[in-house]
Structure 1
């Protein structure tokens, strides 16, 4: 299944084809590809080159580790994410290494790293679905995440699956058209709310 972006202006094909599916094939992801995804994240830009990202990774071939990470997801996300062969949790370090002061750019930088990871995945024919629906406190406890780090998103990665494996409500969500706000709603100049375009 494909759900290409309906773009107003030209964009790269990897961006056009990227979307967040609910149907994943259980086929394992090759370890070299997983390494490449994380290498792409590693090379993201960050404020003062702090690289405030960390990733907790679990694959289905280690059921104990996989179930541990899956248990952090809310039940509605567990329903479909359990089929993805790779689950991750992105984590941000909220303070600068160099002076221990708050890093207000950490979440932005982690997002950039996951953006790199997502496009690298897309280039392999893999899809990424990020989730805010997870229990950050449970993840912190299960993984002993330090206090100056914040779990940001749960991430499912895999090859596209058959939408017929989904419950009817999820199937309808999968089949629904993609939409985006127009550029005039969020790109401004001069004053806030004055459209650039």
Structure 2
């Protein structure tokens, strides 16, 4: 991994988090079914409000019709590089509580937590993930027969990182730019 992609933190943070980043350049190496199931299993263990687990993961392997359907739903800015991922996973949130059909106000938050567990599990296995919000939700919902009480939240590209030089601009420059974050004093404050 490029040293510019290792997070330079203000405080000690575990390496798994410091080393996690979102590449756009993916190698041709495939992800085994066993590895993908491990990654998705990690997502299933995320905390959720009332343990409702209001998420589903719909995926396709590169070279399959399911993968092509997910790629077709991606925004034009994501298609050129995401088409090279080994697997694309759509994280889908369940908007209603199954027992009562009442609105689940936390489904987006909970689906985000499950997605973060997926990212960290993948990273621990040397598999990189790039989360995308740039996609047509309606198109994906139609292609994947997602019911109206569910909503595609994000699409995750999974794969093994490759050389940035194989990317076209502006993706190559983005791949080679150091990571940064807002300082803690900007995003946090003690309530007194």
Q: Which TM bucket (shorter chain)?
A: over 0.9
Superposed CA deviations along residues 91-128 of structure 1, whole A, max 9, x for unmatched, are 00011122221111111111111111111100110100
Cα distance, 1:36 vs structure 2: 0.2
- Partner of residue 9, structure 2: 7
Cα distance, 1:66 vs structure 2: 1.4
- Partner of residue 188, structure 1: 189
Tell me if 1:113 matches 2:107.
no
- Partner of residue 69, structure 2: 68
- Partner of residue 48, structure 1: 50
Tell me if 1:144 matches 2:118.
no
- Distance, in Å, in 2 between the alignment partners of 1:148 and 1:181 is 36
Give secondary structure in 1 for the equivalent of 2:119: helix
- Distance, in Å, in 1 between the alignment partners of 2:33 and 2:145 is 25
Q: Mark the runs of 5 or more structure 2 residues left unpaired by the alignment.
A: none
Cα distance, 1:143 vs structure 2: 1.4
Cα distance, 1:5 vs structure 2: 0.5
- Distance, in Å, in 2 between the alignment partners of 1:163 and 1:56 is 28
Residue range with higher mean Cα deviation, 179-188 or 11-20 = 179-188
> Given the two structures, how large is their TM-score scaled by the length of structure 2?
0.95
Cα distance, 1:78 vs structure 2: 0.6
Give secondary structure in 2 for the equivalent of 1:102: coil
Give secondary structure in 2 for the equivalent of 1:118: helix
Superposed CA deviations along residues 12-71 of structure 1, whole A, max 9, x for unmatched, are 110000000111112100111100001000111100110001011000142x22111110
Cα distance, 1:188 vs structure 2: 2.1
Query: Stretches of 4+ moved more than 4 A in 1?
Result: none
Q: How does 1:68-107 map to 2 (within 5 A)?
A: 68-107=69-108
> Given the two structures, how large is their TM-score scaled by the length of structure 1?
0.93
Q: How does 1:15-54 map to 2 (within 5 A)?
A: 15-54=17-56
Cα distance, 1:168 vs structure 2: 2.8
Superposed CA deviations along residues 107-158 of structure 1, whole A, max 9, x for unmatched, are 1111111111111100110100000110001011111211111110011000
- Distance, in Å, in 2 between the alignment partners of 1:174 and 1:153 is 21
- How many equivalent residue pairs? 190
Pairwise CA RMSD: 1.1
Q: Mark the runs of 5 or more structure 1 residues left unpaired by the alignment.
A: 192-197
Give secondary structure in 1 for the equivalent of 2:21: coil
